[in-house]
Amino acid sequence: MTCILQIGPLTERFNRCLAAEHEVLRFWEEGGDVLVAQHAQRIDVVVTSGRFGCTAALIEQLPNLRAIISFGVGYDAIDVAAARARNIPVSNTPAVLNDCVADLAFGLVIDTARQMSRADRFVRAGSWPSGGLPLAKQVSGKRLGIVGLGRIGETVAKRSIGFDMQVRYHNRRPVEGSGYGYESNLVELAKWSDFLVLTCPGGEGTRHLINRNVLDALGSKGILINVSRGSVVDEPALIEALMEGRLGGAGLDVYAHEPEVPQALIDLPNVVLLPHIGSATEETRLAMEELLLANLRAFLERGEVLTAV
């Protein structure tokens, strides 16, 4: 029987399914480091997620590790370089969450522009009889900038068609065959955009890609939407820009130090805050679980994963 080190819990349905087919060492509830030290020689596979990751130090402790199978599209918390140095394949669960994350991103565009969450709080607080809210911003016909035109970014762009929006994007290089306008300079894209949506990968290559210069270019009427990773945005610079009125608003599903959210962001009325729920629907999470298990079975049967990083 395969010995699997599961770094963190997923759904109870998944946890039961994995344990029914394999010997599972549950890192998060059995003493972690002590568990690894006791069973290091026996562990064949690490099952993890974009949230829990897998460090180089942990990989080094597992001499017989053969694969890292991850839940989620993001893999910046996994030391892929350390895995590749030992020819250990790493898989994730891309594609199956594109629609779900894109739906949420566009929901944040609409919510932040039209102040829907703020209006809901306003009504619940009994404030309506005393007067109305300030006028909001229209979404239709506006300019949508996308940072990272991968699978999710492309799906966000498709959502904009129904709102008659112009779309431009920033990548390290143009996407071959894309009909959307390419902007090589991120500051110039921010200047052009009414909404700047972040769907790029996390990791050191994109850390603080959205800095003060980009935020100032987006400007006092612009809105930042982040459904990628908190590390992509210089969070203190974002807070300063919002508090000083240099940025019009923000819709955030991810943060620099999750699950901690700065009180300054919580206090701002022009910010919509979500608890990293981009893929959190029953349909998508089931599809992600099924793909993770398919990757695991493919590796155990044929020695290769289906969706390698």
Q: What is the rounded CA–CA span in Å between residue 282 and residue 289? A: 11
Which residue bears the tokens 């993890």?
48
In the chain, DSSP assigns E strands to 3-6, 23-26, 45-49, 67-71, 90-91, 143-147, 166-170, 181-182, 195-198, 223-226, 249-252, 271-273
Catalytic residue among 246, 276, 290, 297: 276
229 carries an active-site annotation: yes
276 carries an active-site annotation: yes
Q: What is the rounded CA–CA span in Å between residue 4 and residue 296? A: 10
Q: What is the rounded CA–CA span in Å between residue 205 and residue 263? A: 28
Catalytic residue among 30, 258, 283, 304: 258
Catalytic residue among 229, 235, 285, 289: 229
**Token output for 45:** 């596979």
For the beta carbon of residue 244, count every other beta carbon within 10 angstroms: 9
Decide if 301 contacts 67 (C-beta within 8 A).
Answer: no
Q: Which residues are catalytic?
A: 229, 258, 276
